[in-house]
Amino acid sequence: EAPTSSVTDKVENGSQLDEKKVTVVFVLGGPGSGKGTQCANIVEHFGFTHLSAGDLLRAEIKSGSENGTMIQNMIKEGKIVPSEVTVKLLQRAMQENENDKFLIDGFPRNEENRAAFENVTKIEPAFVLFFNCSEEEMEKRLLNRNQGRDDDNIETIRKRFKVFIESSLPVIEYYQAKGKVHEIDAGRPREEVFETIKNIFATFAKESSETGKYVDNCVNVMTEVHID
Ligand SMILES: Nc1ncnc2c1ncn2[C@@H]1O[C@H](COP(=O)(O)OP(=O)(O)OP(=O)(O)O)[C@@H](O)[C@H]1O
Ligand SMILES: Nc1ccn([C@H]2C[C@H](O)[C@@H](COP(=O)(O)O)O2)c(=O)n1
């Protein structure tokens, strides 16, 4: 299946059609499994743009938008914000960015997210990274994160774990059935986790450039890493 997809949508005034080909990788895993940390490394080494659904929602709260209070309340409760809101934010972020390679972190979080994104954008991910980590380790990391997040308290953390198991794991299983998931043992030290990720992206870049589906700027990195 083609790793590039077309983003087609009318802009605000409805008069102009904006279309571009993009490569999308979904980055999924439990809260505190290290998705954001590794996305920063992938951006640096492989030239992707990192779009964190959680960050986009938190920015929406700060902007004072009409949905701000609803989003804030849902995040405090560890619940998943309606897909319509999150998909719009992601779509806008992709359209406004000149890059054509996006890491979408923390999305799709449930079946509704997945279906809404696919219906609206017609984008299929090239592949999915699944950060697998024990709850014990994730809890420890979140309680030490110190970023002043409203939802990094033990009560909300437990709710987020429950939502992850009940709503997010089925999405990962959906992509597993399509052969799109790279499962990563995310309980290891940061550097070890990134070594695994480097190999995944280097292999993807090599295969895609061979088939002409992926124009990459990762050639220098590819020579540094081991490809199975
Ligand atoms: N491999 C690791 N070992 C130990 N600590 C880590 C590791 N990776 C990330 N951390 C730390 O754990 C905390 C959570 O990491 P991060 O914010 O990347 O997780 P996340 O999966 O993006 O979480 P969330 O989904 O809640 O946003 C951070 O303080 C980060 O520095
Ligand atoms: N697709 C998403 C992503 C995030 N949220 C909300 C609910 C999460 O608990 C919160 C924080 O996300 P994180 O930064 O930990 O990825 O944001 C959502 O509703 N839908």
Compute the distance from residue 91 Cα to the ligand 2 centre, in Å: 16
- pLDDT, averaged across the chain: 88
1 versus 117: which is more confidently predicted? 117
pLDDT of 49 over the 80 cut? yes
Distance of CA 126 to the CA centre of its chain: 12
What is the per-residue pLDDT for 4?
55
Query: pLDDT grade, residue 84 (50/70/90)?
Result: very high
pLDDT of 220 over the 80 cut? no
- pTM as predicted: 0.90
Tell me which residue has its CA closest to atom 14 in ligand 2.
54
pLDDT tens per residue, range 157-189: 999 999 999 999 999 999 999 999 999 999 999
Mutate to test the pocket of ligand 1, among 43, 57, 86, 141 (most ligand atoms within 8 A of CB): 141
Which atom of ligand 2 lies nearest, measured to the CA of 105?
16
pLDDT of 195 over the 80 cut? yes
81 is in an annotated binding site: yes
**Which three-class secondary structure state does DSSP give residue 118?**
helix
What is the per-residue pLDDT for 225?
33
Query: pLDDT grade, residue 5 (50/70/90)?
Result: low
- Longest CA span, the chain: 51
Task: Catalogue the long-range contacts made by 4-8 (C-beta closer than 8 Å, 24 or more residues apart).
Answer: 4/100, 4/126, 4/213, 4/214, 5/121, 5/122, 5/123, 5/124, 6/122, 6/123, 7/91, 7/94, 7/95, 7/121, 7/122, 7/123, 8/122
Domain annotation for the chain: domains and CATH numbers? 21-224 (3.40.50.300)
Closest ligand (CA of 77):
2
34 is in an annotated binding site: yes
Q: Give the integer Cα–Cα distance in Å for 56 and 62.
A: 10
User: Taking residues 68-85, what's their average pLDDT?
Assistant: 98
pLDDT tens per residue, range 119-170: 999 999 999 999 999 999 999 999 999 999 999 999 999 999 999 999 999 9
